Structure 1
Amino acid sequence: MLDEIGEMPLDMQTKLLRVVQEGVITRIGSSKSIPVDVRIIAVTNRDLKKEVEAGRFRKDLYYRLNVLPLFLPPLRERKKDIPLLIQYFVKNIGQKLNKKEPVISEEYLKKMINYNWPGNIRELENLVELIVNTGSIPSGYFTGENCDNEVLVDISDDCLKLDYMEKEHIIKVLKKFKGNITHSAEALGIRRNTLYSKIKKYNIQI
């Protein structure tokens, strides 16, 4: 499956087109063509027709991929799917990270169901991953705490990004342990050098 095919650079689109048309690939550093027999599922949240018209997506590749188009409604239009997706992500991410599955309260679950999810399933997955990783429920996610807007509606807002939530959580942990790196790293479940890297990345003042 090719996720976010609309984000693929034009030079990569040319290479993908060759694979689709000729059914062969060439490994890096090799000149030998290897035949492949695959079915391609391409996913995008962009209007590829408009991308073609704007010259950002190859027309020939578009028609090669657009054989059986499927349109999935946004998450805000299928609220009944949200609890099932949360359950799936909690279990799947918990197993992958070897973390205990967190308990999400009915009140917080109701907020998750009523939220519009401008970032769709990816935004939901990111939030669940944060909850599983930290073992805590981010209280300000739906209230607009520390954000300009009372309700978060724009996926480009910093407050919707996983990095933002991670930074805020690291700051809280560092405050709790009064800047002690060793104790903070242990509480976060990461190594000291990883915590140092994140402190540098987010420009956190200790």
Structure 2
Amino acid sequence: MLDEIGEMPLDMQTKLLRVVQEGVITRIGSSKSIPVDVRIIAVTNRDLKKEVEAGRFRKDLYYRLNVLPLYLPPLRERKKDIPILIQYFVKSIAQKLNKKEPAILKEYLKKMINYNWPGNIRELENLVELIVNTGSIPADYFTEENCDNEVLVDISDDCLKLDYVEKEHVIKVLKKFEGNITHSAAALGIRRNTLYSKIKKYEIEI
């Protein structure tokens, strides 16, 4: 499975395209082609059509990968799944860490269902792991601001731009995790190097 395929550099996209088209790979430092028979599952949170139009993603690779597209709605659009996922993560994480399964109070469960989960499944899994490890939830994790849809009071042109919203959200998450890149990236549902790129792009001071 290829996670965050939309973040792949163009030179690597070219190499992947060769693998998909010809069904062969070449080891580093070797000139011998090795045949492979694999099924590729690619995941992204980006609109790849727009990435193609912007020249950031190869058109030929897009059509090669876009054989059976599946759209998974964000967690905030499928609230009924949250209790089931919490139960699953509590059980699996507790077993993995050899810890007792904690009981989550109804008041916190309600907050977890109402929360918008900007980091989607990864953020939920991270929080459950924190609960299993410490037996508690950070006091300020679920705030009124987080549980309600955000409203932009200032509707100037800058505030309407996607980059502006992304920058503000990245800053907000970094503050929540006190600049911890690993936790912030996991909450955002992206890789560490992707987060570093966004920090550089938006000139965010940690």
Could you state the TM-score of these two structures normalised by the residue count of structure 1?
0.67
CA distance in 2 between counterparts of 1:151 and 1:81 reads: 25
Q: Distance in 2 between matches of 1:12 and 1:30?
A: 17
Report how far residue 103 of structure 1 moved. Answer: 1.8
Task: Give me the CA root mean square deviation.
Answer: 8.9
Kept after mapping to 1: 8 A contact 2:76/2:117:
yes
Q: Distance in 2 between matches of 1:93 and 1:21?
A: 39
How far does the alpha carbon of each residue in 1:148-167 deviate from its partner, in whole angstroms, 9 at most, with x for none?
99999999999999999999
Cα distance 1:132–1:199, how it changes in 2: closer, same or farther (>3 A)? farther
User: In terms of mean alpha carbon deviation, does 46-55 or 152-161 score higher?
Assistant: 152-161
What is the aligned partner in structure 2 of residue 99 from structure 1?
Answer: 99
* CA shift in 2, pair 1:88/1:202, >3 Å: farther
Higher mean C-alpha deviation, range 55-64 or range 150-159: 150-159
Go from structure 1 to structure 2 and tell me whether the alpha carbon gap of 1:133 and 1:16 turns closer, same or farther (over 3 Å shift).
Answer: farther
Separation in structure 1 between the aligned mates of residue 37 and residue 132 of structure 2, nearest angstrom: 38
> Partner of 1:140: helix, strand, or coil?
coil
Aligned-pair CA distance for 1:4: 1.2
Note closer, same or farther for the CA distance 1:198–1:93 as it changes in structure 2 (3 Å cut).
farther
Number of residue pairs aligned between Structure 1 and Structure 2? 206
Match of 1:111 in 2: 111
Q: Which stretch has the larger CA shift, 98-107 or 76-85?
A: 98-107
Kept after mapping to 1: 8 A contact 2:111/2:147: no
1:62 CA displacement: 0.4
User: Do the aligned partners of 2:76 and 2:116 also contact (CA within 8 Å) in 1?
Assistant: yes
Residue 122 of structure 1 deviates from its aligned partner by 1.8
Deviates more, 1:53-62 or 1:154-163: 154-163
Task: Summarize the Cα distance change of 1:33–1:4 in structure 2 as closer, same or farther, 3 Å threshold.
Answer: same
Bigger drift between 105-114 and 167-176 goes to 167-176
Offset from partner CA, 1:54-104 (integer Å, 9 cap, x none): 111111110100111111111111111001111111222222333332221
* Whole-angstrom distance in 2 between the partners of 1:180 and 1:122: 16
Separation in 1, partners of 2:87, 2:114: 16
**Partners of 1:188 and 1:122 in 2: how far apart?**
8
- Distance apart, 1:37 and its partner CA: 0.9
Q: Structure 1 residues 139 and 15, CA, compared in 2 at 3 Å: closer, same or farther? A: same
Residue 174 to residue 161, structure 1, CA distance change in 2 (3 Å): same
User: Residues of 2 paired with 1:54 and 1:114: CA distance?
Assistant: 35
Higher Rg? 1
Shift in Å, 1:6: 0.8
Show structure 1 runs of 4+ deviating over 6 A: 144-206
Q: Do the aligned partners of 1:177 and 1:184 also contact (CA within 8 Å) in 2?
A: yes
Aligned pair in 2 of structure 1 residues 81, 164: CA closer, same or farther (>3 Å)?
Answer: farther
Looking at both structures, which has the greater relative contact order when contacts are Cα pairs under 8 Å and sequence separation is at least 6? 2
Unaligned runs of 5+ in 1: none
Q: Is the 8 A contact 1:130 1:162 kept in 2?
A: no
Q: Distance between the aligned counterparts of 1:139 and 1:75, measured in 2?
A: 22
Q: Residue 147 of structure 2: SS of its match in structure 1?
A: coil
- Identity of counterpart residues, as a percentage? 92
